[in-house]
Amino acid sequence: MAFASSGDLAAKEETFVELAAGVYALTAEGDPNVGAVEGPDFVVCFEARATPAAARRWLARLRERTEKPVRYLVLSHYHAVRTLGAAAFDAAEIVAHTETRRLIAERGRQDWESELGRMPRLFEDPASIPGLTWPTVTFSDRMVIPLGGDRELVLAHCGRGHTAGDIVAWLPHERIMFAGDLVEAQAALYTGDAFHTEWASSTLDRVQAFGAEALVGGRGAVATGEDTVFAAITQTRHFLDELRRTVGAAHAERGTLKDAFTAAHDALAPRFGGWPIFEHCLPFNVQRYWDELEGVDWPRIWTAERDQQVWAALTDG
């Protein structure tokens, strides 16, 4: 099997949707989603894509609807495929959680190399990346961006989950949420930098408590309607629970990491195996949860070299 997503080279079809007046999302069959919200004389963009070249294609779609300048670029978390395209937005402020800034400083360079190796197709014209993306505004709990009238955009940290510093963007007036990688709709989860137990319990509880009527997850189609939003959150929780159950059992029985991988694959593949990035992510997911069980609280840094070692140890390719 080709390493991670390095064999996934077919272009995905992009779908532009206006979820409410001035609220936009672009989804792409399991590639990372992006969004935007219009204020009175500015735009807030959510997520930056992997490169400025890739971001400019999204901005060209957005510019068919609005010419307002980007005042805020909001980053849901530190991962390269969400942050390294930031230069294209010319944003006045780049907003992220305090832990996201810390993670970029600590491991941004290694993560860039790791993600480029895992998902080369997403890095359109990698030479267009000027360097790491540095947030200019950070917060640890909650931040509100007024949008005019009674409209506002609430940025909130719901606890540790996909990473230590995930934030969601919530429009209370429209009841629409951009959830980043905390929720995936019919796409597999990446948990290689995650805090599984917290994510599956209190963090997803808080995400659910917003009562969104539409939700844009990190990957996959927009979930529209309360039932579909509930299904996306439940699917995310189920994935985490099954991973924890199977890897936890192998660890408790003093099995090997490979035993844990096989058990997790057997349990998850029937339901999730056909979804985007399932095979790519699972070795890294199992390794990270195994580390958590071993008492490693702060995720170890993925490097291009460590990626290859874990892949070789857990897959046959």
Q: Rule CB under 5 A: which residues touch Zn ion? A: 79, 181
Rank residues 42 and 83 by Cβ distance to Zn ion and give the closer one.
83
Residue 65: CB minimum distance to Zn ion, A: 27
198, 204, 207, 210: CA torsion to nearest 10: -120
Distances from the Cα of 36 to the Cα of 3, 139, 146, 190, angstroms: 33, 20, 14, 24
Residue 14: CB minimum distance to Zn ion, A: 19
Rank residues 103 and 214 by Cβ distance to Zn ion and give the closer one.
103
Rank residues 158 and 250 by Cβ distance to Zn ion and give the closer one.
158
Q: Which residues contact 40 (CB under 8 A, 6 or more apart)?
A: 147, 148
Residue 12: CB minimum distance to Zn ion, A: 17
Residue 162: CB minimum distance to Zn ion, A: 6
**What is the spatial distance between Cα 8 and Cα 11, in angstroms, rounded to a whole number?**
9
Rank residues 79 and 151 by Cβ distance to Zn ion and give the closer one.
79
Residue 115: CB minimum distance to Zn ion, A: 9
Q: What are phi and psi of 307, to 5 degrees?
A: -55, -50
Residue 203: CB minimum distance to Zn ion, A: 14
Rank residues 147 and 243 by Cβ distance to Zn ion and give the closer one.
243
Residue 285: CB minimum distance to Zn ion, A: 12
DSSP 155: E
**What is the spatial distance between Cα 276 and Cα 28, in angstroms, rounded to a whole number?**
11
Rank residues 151 and 203 by Cβ distance to Zn ion and give the closer one.
203
Determine what percent of the chain falls in helix, strand and coil, rounding each to the nearest 5.
Answer: 40, 20, 40
How many residues can be counted in the chain? 317
Cα distance between the two ends of the chain: 5
Rank residues 50 and 147 by Cβ distance to Zn ion and give the closer one.
50
Q: How many helices (H) and strands (E) would you count in the chain?
A: 9, 13
